[in-house]
Structure 1
Amino acid sequence: MRQLVWLRNDLRTIDNSALHHAMQQGPTLALYILSPVQWQLHDEAAIKLDFRLRNLQQLAERLQLLNVPLIVTQCDLWQELPQRLPEFCRTWQVSSLHFNAEYGVNEQQRDRQCAEQLEAAGIRVYRHGDSCLFPPGSLRTQQGQMFQVFTAFKKACWQRLHAAPLRSLPPPVAQAPTGIASQLDAIQPYLAHNPDRERLWPAGEDAAWQQLERFCRQDIHNYQQERNFPALDNTSRLSPALACGVLSVRSCWQRALLANQGEFDSGSEGVVTWLTELLWREFYQHLLALNPRLSKGEPFLESGKRIPWRNDPGQLHAWQQGRTGFPLIDAAMRQLAATGWMHNRLRMVVAMFFCKNLLLDWRLGERWFMQQLIDGDLAANNGGWQWCASTGTDAAPYFRVFNPVTQSQRFDPKGEFIRRWLPELAHLDDKQIHLPQHGHDLFSGSYPAPIVDLKSSRARAIEAFSRANGSLNSLSS
């Protein structure tokens, strides 16, 4: 009887818990299930799906070297899987199924229902924790509660890591040939074959490891000083690989440690800062796993339900299309549209502008990001948007409102990033480019006027959030 490893967002052979344990138990097959209708319901970006399937093609070749055949099939909706998987296992003479856990509420429900049906059919099911450094729920406060403040969560992670350093799994060893050929024909209709996209976002474990190695050798030590300047682009750009599981978070953590003599809480500021970003990712994964409402479009804070979000389709469209009249905002949104990716500092700036200055519902922005991002990740995207909207745990206080012009002057002082994405402003000088003055002789008029006044919109947001928080206080008193 065979083992089956069910691959999802873990498209790698290196440091893959489900694959490792399946191969330890016996002859192994790999399964990937295309679910295009489900992906659409979850607002998966087309560029992310293309990246995922290109990685799946590359993974098939690496699995072939291990004599593990990959079977790709299609099941449009996850609700059909509890019936389909037992049939698949009987057809391929599978006795055990291995998979790595996912933490969205729909994903957890899918896995629970599939496990029940498989076990009822006499097929053993093994669930592995692989997308986090620590199993969600294993880090608790002294009162036994989930951490709601990131700094305390980080300290708990550090304590655990000092006590028990992370260990990666040994490289997989090829099994005996199974005599079964990989079946990949189902992928072909979904591949876009876009050379520009493939050049910008190369697929495969080799490409991801080369990128990790370059970052840790060349840029990580300057990460703290340069990460907020989008024109420098001194970030790792590894988020797409992490979102699809082409790299494990453990591998990223351990490679960064090598660049800092094994330290994660001292030494190189750049390394410590980058590792802290990985812990933010961890924090949001744990929150998602333990708070199902985060998967259902609900704010973490009760006061978030009382914010009077505005309904303004025109301003929503202007924001989506990069036509707000604020150059840094618009350049960031055009970068997103063109590449499927946005610099992390700019994600915060454009999200806070959306939630505070425009006073538009953060869920609309969260959904738009998921529909555009190559690295769209439910936990990180939700956590980032709720942080900016002041509706999440350990979020920015509601009276904190980034000024996009000040942010532009500080983090793109020469307008290099703006000129790259807004060529219609390239002729302006380094001062004018941050907020073009309409009617000025140097201004061509092809760029829109600001769609909102920063001062009055900030005051409007603070009043709205203050009322929401005030009503919460009166209810609890």
Structure 2
Amino acid sequence: MKNALVWLRRDLRLFDHAALHHALASGATVYCAFIFDRAILDSLPAADRRVEFIHDTLAALAAELEALGGHLIVRHDGAESAIPALAAELDAATVFANHDYEPAAIARDEAVARALAGAGRRLRTFKDQVVFERDEVLTQGGNPFSVFTPYKNAWLRKLEADPSVLAPWSVEPGSAHQPGRFAPGQSVLPALADIGFARTNLHELGIGNGPQLFDEFLGRVADYGVARDYPAIKGPSYLSMHLRFGTVSIRHLVRTVMTMSARGAAGEGGAVWLSELIWREFYMQILYHNPHVVGGSFKPAYDKIEWESGPAAEQLFAAWCEGRTGYPLVDAAMLQLNRTGYMHNRLRMVTASFLCKDLGIDWRWGEAYFALHLNDFDLSANNGGWQWASSSGCDAQPYFRIFNPVTQSQKFDPEGKFIKRYLPQLAGLSAKEIHLPRNPIVEHDEARKRTLERYAVVKTT
């Protein structure tokens, strides 16, 4: 093989990169490319932090490639046409990429593979963004799991049986093990404005460098099990955006925390954090095996629920989006999302429950709003989380368990520190008063009764 093209997507790093490893191992001269795909970007607002994050990450990646003697090719086009055209331009016999599990991405890759095959070329893809994928973790009956705990247990057993799946994919061009080399050349990265986007407040948010964030998190991972629930303190890893775009390796994360746990250095928090990584893969395999969840309930019976509609519902939804519900914790959480593109995981559950079960609004409205605004938006996790909150998904919260936004506030932001950060007008209130609703758009107790009636259709199915 003379030339090969590595198509970067959700794997914006050189470290422990499956597709890049296999391209170099083929003995080819390796070109690397990223496509700002118009099929995705054309529907986004100009001030989209995710595009800026990708752009800045590519700049660093290009510099890293140049230090190794290569370069990064960047195009702003439709990926389905750009990749076959680029392969032809470079005379690349094979395009190497890593697996994606979303229905639209699978269809895109199938289209690219057909176009390449028509020109006598091929697309080879590899597992990279998960530890276990597709049909690798199944029930004893050979079926996909739909309940998390049995999936987690099977996942852990499989890893214990074959820990080699965590081994890193080395990238050492020119070595005895990696006889290929990077194609020399100059990286050309278009300006953000040239692809229709503008700078945002991204660099004010502390999103940082993925590997550095992980190293910092390891110093407090032992407390994660408790600290993660309190939005006013530094509890999460803040790696979700880096996992979404692959600036960190999932194998490295799992391998590191398990090694720490084995020597007793990760405490109880290490096991809890590992469970969160497994949840991520659980939702990915749910989406892969059940593509109908894109737009429909995992449990079809829940599609019979009659959600609020019409102008009144639209006004309630607008109030939720803009942080005007009258419930301080809900409003502070929505303001955090709107101003930063981030929302604490506990607050994602609280706000989602409020939209579906206090306001009676279709979970799909909220899912779409989060998809547009979350820096770390990932279809499988976002869909899974919203269906969990609305009780329509796999292993979901029972419909009769309804978060009380006041008691959630009292429990997880007891002094109101988080609330005051985003609602400074409430700063003078006491720790007791700050949680109470002010001019609420709905009364929680009354809304709870209506929700139980709304969900009654499910009980009769």
TM-score (norm 1): 0.90
Match of 1:32 in 2: 34
Q: How does 1:333-372 map to 2 (within 5 A)?
A: 333-372=334-373
Q: After TM superposition, give the deviation of residue 40 of structure 1 in Å.
A: 4.6
Q: Is 1:405 aligned to residue 406 of structure 2?
A: yes
Residue 310 of structure 1 and its aligned partner are, at CA, apart by: 0.5
Distance (whole Å) between structure 1 residues aligned to residue 199 and residue 60 of structure 2: 14
User: Which residue number corresponds to residue 152 of structure 2?
Assistant: 154
Q: 1:292 is aligned with what amino acid?
A: P
Pairwise CA distance, 1:267: 7.1
Counterpart CA distance in 2 for 1:252 and 1:377 is 18
Q: Which runs of 5+ in 2 are unaligned?
A: 175-180
Q: Is the 8 A contact 1:284 1:383 kept in 2?
A: yes
The whole-number CA distance in structure 2 between the counterparts of 1:164 and 1:220 is: 25
Give the deviation of 1:127 after TM superposition. Answer: 1.0
Q: Whole-Å Cα distance in 2 between the matches of residues 457 and 97 of structure 1?
A: 54
Q: Which amino acid aligns with 2:335?
A: R
CA contact (8 A) 2:241 2:376 kept: yes
**1:247 Cα offset (Å):** 0.8
Secondary structure of 1:259 counterpart: helix
CA contact (8 A) 2:131 2:166 kept: no
- Structure 2 counterpart of 1:61: 63
Question: What is the identity, as a one-letter code, of the residue corresponding to 1:260?
Answer: S
Instruction: Determine helix, strand or coil for the equivalent of 1:260.
Output: helix
| Residue in 2 that maps onto 1:442 | none
Task: Report the Cα distance in structure 2 between the residues aligned to 1:426 and 1:54, rounded to whole angstroms.
Answer: 36
Q: 2:416 matched to 1:415?
A: yes
Asked if 1 retains the 8 angstrom alpha-carbon contact of 2:94 and 2:124, the reply is: yes
* Equivalent residues in 2 for 1:275-290, closer than 5 Å: 275-290=274-289
Q: CA 1:177–1:47 in structure 2 vs 1: closer, same or farther (change >3 Å)?
A: closer
CA RMSD of aligned residues (A): 2.0
Q: Distance in 2 between matches of 1:168 and 1:7?
A: 21
Matched, 1:180 2:185: yes
- How far apart are 1:136 and its partner, in Å? 1.4
Q: How many residues align?
A: 448
Structure 1: state its 5+ residue gaps: 437-447, 473-477
Task: Give runs of aligned pairs for residues 16-415 of structure 1, distance below 5 A.
Answer: 16-25=17-26, 26-41=28-43, 46-76=48-78, 78=79, 81=80, 83-165=81-163, 166-175=165-174, 176=181, 178-185=183-190, 187-190=192-195, 192-194=198-200, 196-202=201-207, 207-217=209-219, 219-261=220-262, 268-295=267-294, 297-311=295-309, 312-415=313-416
What is the CA distance between 1:170 and its match in structure 2? 4.5
Runs of 4+ in structure 1 over 6 Å off: 42-45
Deviation at 1:153, TM superposition (A): 0.2
Residue in 1 that maps onto 2:177: none
Change (3 A) 1:29 1:201: farther
- In 1, Cα distance between equivalents of 2:42 and 2:386: 21
- Do 1:67 and 1:174's aligned partners in 2 also have CA atoms closer than 8 Å? no
1:22 Cα deviation after fit: 0.9
Q: Is the 8 A contact 2:221 2:266 kept in 1?
A: no
Q: Which residue of 1 aligns with 2:178?
A: none
Distance, in Å, in 2 between the alignment partners of 1:345 and 1:430 is 20
In the TM superposition, what is the alpha-carbon distance from 1:87 to its structure 2 partner? 2.3
Q: Contact 1:16–1:130 (CA<8 Å) still a contact in 2?
A: yes
Shift of 1:189: 2.4
- Structure 1 residues 234, 435: CA separation in 2 closer, same or farther (over 3 Å shift)? same
**CA distance in structure 2 between the partners assigned to 1:160 and 1:245 by the alignment:** 23
Alpha-carbon spacing, 1:298–1:357, altered in 2? closer, same or farther (3 Å): same
Deviation string, structure 1 residues 294-349 (Cα, Å, up to 9, x no partner): 23x11100112101110201110000001100000001111111111011000000
The Cα shift of 1:468 comes to 2.8
Most deviating of 124-133 and 342-351: 124-133
Which amino acid is the alignment partner of residue 218 of structure 2? C
Distance 1:455 1:49, change over 3 A: same
